[in-house]
Structure 1
Amino acid sequence: MSRDAGSPPPDVTTDAKSAPAPWTLTGDAYIAMLELPRRLLLEQGFIPEALRPRFEGRYSLLMAIDYTSSNVGPYRELLFIAGRFRTRRGLLWSISKIYVSSWDSVVNGQRNWGIPKEHADFEIVREADGSERLRASQGGAVFADVRFAPAGPSLPAGTALLPARWRGLVHHREGREHFCWPTARGSVRHARLLEARVDPARMPPLDERRVVFAARLSRFRAEFPAADVDQPDQPDPG
């Protein structure tokens, strides 16, 4: 069986820089909250089997991030969160598809938080109209092309204004659930999601999306603490 193009080969896993949590990251990002059909998310949302029975749906998140610094250096990222899931810690988000431009980020993201990171190459293009386009590719083939445009004034913002239940993450990996409550602060302004073209074999299709809101985060600083890991013999909630 051939190895998935985004998964780390054995030598990369062995040689990857060790970067245990906590992490501090800085950079710029776009985030869009979407409404997508529940049937589409269950069928094509890349939701892990262990979490599917606990899927609550409603809102999904699409993020395009340019990290200028992290515990493994600068890298770029494209991720999709299908929605929130019932857990013994309450309703939490879970990243169902995520690509990063750094193998060190792939390996340590899986180890530290159970995040299902895969590797891809990235290009960010700043268009003449002020919009920004992020393309992700594997083997030279572009599988995601998203374009955002910022608008309006910037205001300071941070997750301190959000209840913990709105920023908690859960990821299921190798029979264990990894819980994490990251924080962030920076400047935020309104944005528009202008295009989102993806290969449905690598990202959930977004043709039927309704954009609830989109934002541009500038010069943010995020903190990812160590995960709280449940042992595999602990029962899942009903």
Structure 2
Amino acid sequence: MEKLIKPRSHFPAPWTLKGEGIIMVYNFKKDWLEKNGLWRLGPSEVYMGGLGFVMLVNYHESPVGPYKELLIIPGKYNPHKRQSISHIFVDSENSTENGRYNWGIPKETVPMIWQTEGDLDTIGIGSEGDPILYCEIKTKNIPFPATTRLLPIRLHQVLGGKTFLTDPNGSGWAKLAKIEKMNIDADRFPDISQLKPLLCFKVNPFTMHFPLSQIHEHQE
């Protein structure tokens, strides 16, 4: 079992983060979840449904400085009826170490690019010669308020012999968006490239709060 080690530069919760993000909302089907190993995340964690999210985030401000992020939340899982982040990449080792230690989020560190020209965001996850995900997202014009009160996130993460329960919250201004291009290495991230999201929008700017987790030690 992996042991969680306190980061050399520890920034304890709570965190407040600011930046921009692209959120894709899905209703994942059972055959796709099974194909991508997401139907069951652990011995007792079985998919129960609910909306799934893929998020691309460009944090301009955080306790560990600016960083970028890609993650997927497939939906809710029994028996805890909470969501779990199954895959997540960031481009900051400080974010990786603190995210794993503070909230049990299974972050991995890879290089990323995020370029914006007008209403087009071009995002690359992984090295240029070995990309995990590449996408081009075009944003539309009319802004509207967005908040996690409408799409709440209640996380249940298991890492290093501990269970972490975390209820982040955030708000910002959003615009509808469209995926113009998407390429994925399906060996390293669930392949959403052939799926049509129920909704895609860009939130800019936003503020996100990650509170302290409720942490439960597992009995040996």
TM-score by length of 1: 0.82
- What stretches of structure 2 of length at least 5 have no aligned partner? none
Following superposition, which runs of at least 4 residues in structure 1 exceed 6 angstroms of deviation?
A: none
Find the counterpart in structure 1 of residue 31 from structure 2: 39
Deviates more, 1:141-150 or 1:216-225: 141-150
Asked if 1:30 corresponds to 2:22, the answer is: yes
Deviates more, 1:186-195 or 1:100-109: 186-195
Find the counterpart in structure 2 of residue 162 from structure 1: 150
Instruction: In structure 1, give the amino acid aligned to 2:70.
Output: L
Instruction: In structure 2, give the amino acid aligned to 1:55.
Output: Y
Q: In the alignment, which of 164, 179, 189 is matched to residue 203 of structure 1?
A: 189
Instruction: In structure 2, give the amino acid aligned to 1:198.
Output: I
- What is the CA distance between 1:84 and its match in structure 2? 1.1
- What is the CA distance between 1:104 and its match in structure 2? 0.4
Q: In the alignment, which of 216, 223, 228 is matched to residue 209 of structure 2?
A: 223
Distance between the aligned counterparts of 1:152 and 1:45, measured in 2? 37
Distance between the aligned counterparts of 2:147 and 2:41, measured in 1? 33
**Equivalent residue pairs, number:** 217
**Structure with greater proportional helix content:** 1
- What is the CA distance between 1:42 and its match in structure 2? 2.6
Distance between the aligned counterparts of 2:44 and 2:129, measured in 1? 32
In the alignment, is the contact (CA less than 8 A) between 2:7 and 2:101 conserved in 1? Answer: no
Instruction: In structure 1, give the amino acid aligned to 2:122.
Output: R
Matches within 5 A, 1:75-86: 75-86=67-78
- What is the CA distance between 1:192 and its match in structure 2? 1.5
Q: Secondary structure at the match of 1:21?
A: coil
CA, structure 1 residues 52+195, in 2 after alignment: closer, same or farther (shift >3 Å)? Answer: farther
Q: In the alignment, which of 124, 133, 150 is matched to residue 144 of structure 1?
A: 133
Asked if 1:93 corresponds to 2:79, the answer is: no
Q: Secondary structure at the match of 1:153?
A: coil
Asked if 1:61 corresponds to 2:49, the answer is: no
Distance between the aligned counterparts of 1:218 and 1:55, measured in 2? 31
Instruction: In structure 2, give the amino acid aligned to 1:122.
Output: M
Instruction: In structure 2, give the amino acid aligned to 1:22.
Output: P
Q: Secondary structure at the match of 2:22?
A: strand
Instruction: In structure 1, give the amino acid aligned to 2:178.
Output: R
Distance between the aligned counterparts of 2:65 and 2:141, measured in 1? 31
- What is the CA distance between 1:209 and its match in structure 2? 1.1
Report the identity percentage: 26
1:189-208 CA distances to partner (integer Å, 9 max, x unpaired)? 21112222110111001144
Find the counterpart in structure 1 of residue 198 from structure 2: 212
Distance between the aligned counterparts of 2:210 and 2:43, measured in 1? 22
Distance between the aligned counterparts of 2:156 and 2:45, measured in 1? 14
Find the counterpart in structure 1 of residue 107 from structure 2: 117
Distance between the aligned counterparts of 1:195 and 1:158, measured in 2? 27
Matches within 5 A, 1:170-189: 170-189=156-175
CA, structure 1 residues 42+27, in 2 after alignment: closer, same or farther (shift >3 Å)? Answer: same
- What is the CA distance between 1:52 and its match in structure 2? 6.3
Instruction: In structure 2, give the amino acid aligned to 1:125.
Output: Q
Distance between the aligned counterparts of 1:112 and 1:154, measured in 2? 33
Instruction: In structure 2, give the amino acid aligned to 1:136.
Output: I
Give the CA RMSD over aligned residues: 2.5
